[in-house]
Amino acid sequence: MQTCLGIDENQRRIPTLGMWYLKPIDRWRLFASPSEAKLMRWWHERAKDDENLAHPADGTQWKKFDEMYPEFAKDPRNVRFALGTDGMNSFGDRSSTHSTWAVILTIYNLPTWLCQKQKYLLLCIMIQGPK
């Protein structure tokens, strides 16, 4: 999607805002293998240490969510995501007014050592534009 076409000093039409949506569902084939499916249940089947916060499943928010939605919590295969975003200056110039924002889904079902690996981060939206 591109909107708000502007005109630069050379009278060229330039996009001032662009958004690309990448469907996360296209990446779910990643979990079709039995070994990947087992990793998605790791958080439920692991040995728990009640004294340490070792995984988001140990946190109070996860437990509160389970209390609020018991039907969802029954099946450990249900996927839990975190949504994160961060902006960057794609041209590396400090004075540039153009920026790019990435929206990324992180899968919290996975073991802690895999949650932030590139293979399991799902880029779902890229937003580019001025400022």
Domain residue extents for the chain: 19-46+56-130
Q: pLDDT > 90: what percent of the chain?
A: 10
Residue-averaged pLDDT of the chain: 79
pLDDT digits (tens, 9 = 90+) for 47-95: 777 778 888 888 899 999 999 999 999 998 888 888 888 887 766 666 6
Tell the burial category of 94 from Cβ atoms under 10 Å away from its Cβ (0-12, 13-18, 19+): exposed
> How far apart are alpha carbons 68 and 62 in whole angstroms?
10
Give pTM, 2 decimals: 0.68
Predicted pLDDT at 128: 80
